[in-house]
Amino acid sequence: MFLLSQKILKFLVAFGVTLLLFNNIKIVKANAETMLMNQTEINQQIQSLSGWTTDGKKITRTFKFKDFVDAIAFVNKLVEPAEAAGHHPDLSISYNKVTVNLTTHDAGGITQKDFDLAQQITQLAE
Ligand SMILES: C[C@H](O)[C@H](O)[C@H]1CNC2=NC(N)=NC(=O)C2=N1
């Protein structure tokens, strides 16, 4: 009886520690996503994104399509990933061109969320 309860206790402690670790990882990840990035971090990350530029407050890329219909089709493709991320691009459309600006309004600048969405948007335009 004593042995059994020792085993259960050990299991519960291990389970508790595992849960604690998982939650801490989630908190660290959530914080990193909403933390303003400095210019060095921005420059580093933008290198791996083709065609994107930055003014330090937002990241920008203009995508060019055959015509207006294709440009709008691209904009429509952005709805699902933006809603899923709870993060939305600022868009401007000029005939066959769509300019995408990404910034985290809640944080007042660029965060990891912008780079994550930029990567998805870049793939959708291919
Ligand atoms: C409550 C809601 O999730 C927030 O207001 C989100 C919505 N989409 C957003 N999109 C962008 N680009 N920046 C934000 O700060 C932002 N905030």
Q: What is the pLDDT of residue 119?
A: 97
Q: Read off the pLDDT of residues 81-109 as tens digits, 9 standing for 90 and up.
A: 999 999 999 999 999 999 999 999 999 99
Residue nearest to atom 3 of ligand 1 (CA): 86
Ligand 1 atom, smallest distance to 86 CA: 3
Answer for the pair 65, 71: CB distance below 8 angstroms, yes or no.
yes
In DSSP terms, 51 is beta-bridged to: none
Where are the domains positioned within the chain? 1-34, 37-125
pLDDT at 1 over 70: no
Look at residue 9 and give its three-state secondary structure: helix
- In this prediction, the answer to ipTM > 0.90 reads yes
What's 99's DSSP letter? E
The response to whether residue 106 sits with its C-beta less than 6 Å from ligand 1 reads yes
Give the tokens for residue 7.
Answer: 């085993």
Using CB atoms within 10 A of its CB, is residue 37 exposed (0-12), middle (13-18) or buried (19+)? Answer: buried
Q: Read off the pLDDT of residues 18-35 as tens digits, 9 standing for 90 and up.
A: 667 666 666 666 677 889
Cβ-count burial 48-83 (b if 16+ within 10 Å, e if not): ebeebebeeebbbbebebeeeeebeebeeebeebbe
Domain covering 37-125 in this structure, CATH number: 3.30.1360.20
pLDDT at 56 over 80: yes
Q: What is the pLDDT of residue 14?
A: 74
